[in-house]
Amino acid sequence: MLLRPRTLGFTLLELLVVLLIIGVMTSFAVLSIGNRTLSDRLDNEASRLAQLFVLAQDEALFKRQEIGFFTDEERYGFLIPNGSGGWQPLTQSGPLRVRPFSEPFRGVLFVEGQPVAPPDPDDLEPAVLILSSGDMTPFRLEIDAPSDPNLNEAIVRGDALGRVQRGPASDRDN
């Protein structure tokens, strides 16, 4: 009697089960990475704003000129006095220009614990002053994504001595 050697390999059913498991694992990975990416972008936006405040402080000290900061929910920027009692954007280009918040983020500015009303687009007024002495108006800027209520906001804060910090939403004491 001849014995046939058993053929090696996988059945179609075994291959389908493995593909199904790989598909489910890939779906979970993509979903977790997608939310993480938004969280990372929020951290980057907060870091950028904190660094821009430090740069504006350096600019105010170097040029011996007061600089203002304004924001509405969609954009923010740095201003300088225009000589006739008003304010104008610091630069049209460069890092301290008026720029929109990255999508889908928005920012809410608080001074003395109260939310600041957005300025008139035709007559920009700063809510935060960065003085040539290094001092600044104490503020808290909350950045969040209204389209994702599960995402925690990031906070950028500045104190009267000109120290700028970023932190999580649990730092709302000021």
| Contact status, residue 160 vs residue 134, Cβ threshold 8 Å | no
Q: Which residues of 6-41 are buried (b: 16+ CB within 10 A; e: fewer)?
A: eeeeeeeeeeeeeeeeeeeeeeeeeeeeeeeebbeb
CA nearest 69: which of 128, 133, 124?
A: 128
What digits encode the pLDDT tens for the residues 29-68?
Answer: 776 665 568 888 888 899 999 999 999 999 999 999 999 9
> CA separation (Å) from 159 to 104, 105, 123, 143?
27, 24, 26, 18
Q: Residue 174's pLDDT is what?
A: 44
What digits encode the pLDDT tens for the residues 68-101?
Answer: 999 987 889 999 998 888 898 887 788 899 999 8
φ, ψ of residue 112 to 5 degrees: the values are: 55, 35
Statement: residue 157 has pLDDT above 90: yes
58's enclosing H/E stretch is: helix 12-63
Domains of the chain with bracketed CATH: 16-168 (3.55.40.10)
pTM > 0.85: no
